[in-house]
Structure formats: structure tokens, C-alpha cells
Amino acid sequence: MKAKDFINSMMKPLKFYSKEGSKEADLQKIAAQEQKQFSYETLSKATDKFHPSHKLGEGGFGPVFKGKLVDGREIAVKMLSQNSRQGQKEFINEAKLLARVQHRNVVNLFGYCTHGDDKLLVYEYVSNESVDKLLFKPDRRQMLDWKKRYEIISGVAKGLLYLHEDSHSCIIHRDIKASNILLDDKWVPKIADFGMARLFPEDQTHVNTRVAGTNGYMAPEYVMHGHLSVKADVFSFGVLMLELISGQRNSSYNLTLDAENLLEWAYKQFKKGKCVDVLDQSIATTSVDEQVALCVQIGLLCTQSDPTLRPTMRRVVVLLSKKPTNLEEPTRPGFPGSRYRKPRHPGASSSNTASSTAKTDSTTSTMTVTATTNPRSLGSDLRGKRPLE
């Protein structure tokens, strides 16, 4: 009996602490959720009043600043450009939803801020910079050996699959590209800038800016007809994949290589059975040829003109995780201005464009964005020049 009493008396304080402890944890949880809204003063202080020296870059949606919160957390603050027509309430609702997105391969969104007409998003700062800052720099590209590039490809595929299928609602990224893939201190890739399609609903300006200065990542049906679906992301992912393999930007492709763009050149190598030649020669010694060949083929499957022929991200993840046998041959890649034939859909018009199929693709939810600029009137600009900077 004595022993039991003793144990009981020992348990009491323990019970007491654990109860209190869980209460505290609950409160902390609630507080953390509440803290998703940042005050403008906090962010201004964290970024030294948005000082130009803190600017990490400026993309189509507005500038990004590096900052540090009083609690020591490093952040990246994105100021959304004012032409978003979304009201404040809708913005806050969307930002709250996006702050719930949690995946190893997606940048953490800490919260948001509204200040007058300004809308800001607060992300975790990811320390090893974006993929473009390594991949396209001759003196740094070797830091990304084949193993790292393969892991980046697999990680981004998983992150994108999560956004498309496993998050609370389907999130079409709309802007997958090398500068939106960040690397953390362990080289884990993280997708940045997700959710813009939700924060800028039916935003014509965005499409038009991009159409005017096509960046080489946009699916033809999106550029030409404003049809946005998960398959537009799959296309951009395919371009990113081929860039990671070759170390070349699709948007500033070297025309001396006897092809219109990187996609077409890779397609030619594939047809000749020389997939391994697509690999960036500066990392050739680190190559795993079998993986390179598989990635080239998957990249080409993702960049086919016909969105219905492109695999879903789920399939891409499966293909990357096992050695597939009998992988189908890709059809010619699509790029803005190109037209495709649909060899596998008998009865279809041969000059059909992607728009008619995007709507009927059962695996996708399609949003229509009206692109008012006629891409054809932009002439040669379509093949990958960035806007004047």
C-alpha cells in the first residue's frame, strides 16, 4: 500500500504538468494560427522599410524582400502588384487557405498582411537560393551534379502532385520555373510562389505580361487561349526538367544547335536514340545514364502539345520512382505558336489547337483566362524573350 501511495503522489504532479502542458500547447497552436496576419509595421521593420538592398528579385507579381522578424525567423516578403482585382476579404480568405498548405517540397507560407491597397505574403526564407541562380551560371552549375538534379526533379514532382491532388483544394501553380524552385540548406527543393492562380483569379494582366514576354515555360494552350489547367503546370514542369538535364534555359536557347528551342532539340536527340547527349556536359562524369534517358523521355511527355497526352503529376511521380518498361513515345513538343496534330484521337481536325481538349480533360479542372493579346501579332517574341527589364 505504501508503495502505491508513493507512486500516486509521484504521479500527481506529473499529471498536473501534462494537463497544463497540453493546455499551453493548445493555446500556442491557436496563437500561431492567429499570427498568420502580420502587421505592416512588423514587416516594414523586418525589411528595413523595404530597403532596395533587401530586394531578392522582382517577378511578374511584384518585388520580394528579405527580412528578419524579431523572433529571429528569416522571411521573404512578397508585395503583390496592385493590379490584382481581388478584394481584401477574398485575399485574406485565400491567403489563410494557402497558409495551411504544408509539404516538404513547398515553401512554407507564414502569413499575410494587408495595408491600404497593398497586399503582402510572408514566406519562410529558403537559404540556398533559387535553382536558376545556380543552374544557369557557368561557374556554379557544377554544384548541381546529376544526383542533386535528379533529386530536385523528384522533389518538385512530389510537391506539384501535392498541390494538384492532395492539398485541401486543387492548386494550379501557373508559374513553375527555375526561379520559383528554391533550395534549402540540405538541397531539398521547395516550390515557391504557389497559389497565385487563386490570388489573381481571371487575371488577364498576368497572362498578357507573360504572353508579351514569353518566358519559355508556358503551355501553348495557356498562352494562346488562356486555358489554365493542371496540365499547364505539367508542361512547365517538363520544361524545367529539360533545363535541369541540359543546363540550358529554354528561353535563351542557343539557336546554333539546329533546333527552334530546347524542347525541339531534346526531341531530336530522343528520336536519334541519343538521350544522354541532352545532359549538361559539365556534369557528365556524375551521370547515371539510365536516369538521364528516363528523365528526357518524361520531360518530353510532359511538354507535348496536346494537354490530354501529357501525364498527370501522379503518373510522373510513379514513373520517377520505378524503372518503367514500355513507356510511350512522346509526340512532338508544343510551344507557343506551334500547332499540334492529334494522332491518337481519330476524327479530330489536324489543325486543332489545345483549347478544345483542355476543357474535356477529365483529370483537370480548367479555368479560363481570357488572353486579349493576340500572340501571333507578337511575332518572334513568342519564342522566349523576357520582357524589357
Ligand X SMILES: Nc1ncnc2c1ncn2[C@@H]1O[C@H](COP(=O)(O)OP(=O)(O)O)[C@@H](O)[C@H]1O
Which residues are near ligand X by CB under 6 A?
Answer: 56-59, 64, 76, 107, 123, 125-126, 129-130, 179-180, 182, 192-193
CB neighbours of 288 closer than 8 A, spacing ≥ 6? 146, 147, 150
* Binding partner selected for residue 123 from ligand X, Mg ion, none, CB under the kind-specific 5 to 8 Å limit: ligand X
Of these partners, Mg ion, ligand X, none, which one is at the site of residue 343 (CB under 5 to 8 Å by kind)?
none
- Residue 86 cell numbers, joined: 481581388
Query: Which of ligand X, Mg ion, none interacts with 328 (beta carbon under 5 to 8 A by kind)?
Result: none
Q: What share of the chain is helix, strand, coil (3-state, %, to 5)?
A: 45, 10, 40
Minimum Å gap between C-beta 102 and ligand X is: 15
Binding site partner of 131, from Mg ion, ligand X, none, Cβ cut-off 5-8 A by kind? none
* Cβ atoms within 10 Å of 197's Cβ, excluding its own: 21
Q: Hey, which residues are catalytic here?
A: 175
Listed in sequence order, the residues at least 6 apart from 128 whose beta carbon sits closer than 8 Å to its beta carbon are: 182, 183, 184, 185, 187
- Cβ proximity to ligand X: between 74 and 202 the closer is 74
Determine how many CB atoms are found less than 10 A away from the CB of residue 320. 19
Closest CA to 105 of 166, 181, 172: 181
Q: Which is nearer to ligand X, 91 or 265 (CB)?
A: 91
CB of 90 to ligand X, least distance (A): 21
Residues in the chain: 389
Q: Which residue is nearest to Mg ion (CB)?
A: 193
- 10 Å Cβ neighbour count for 313? 25
Shorter beta-carbon distance to ligand X: residue 239 or 294: 239
* Residues making contact with Mg ion (CB under 5 A): 59, 180, 193
**196 vs 298 by CB, closer to ligand X:** 196
CB of 188 to ligand X, least distance (A): 13
CA angle at 224 for the pair 218 and 228, rounded to the nearest 5°: 60
Q: Rounded to the nearest whole angstrom, what is the least distance from the CB of residue 192 to Mg ion in the complex?
A: 5
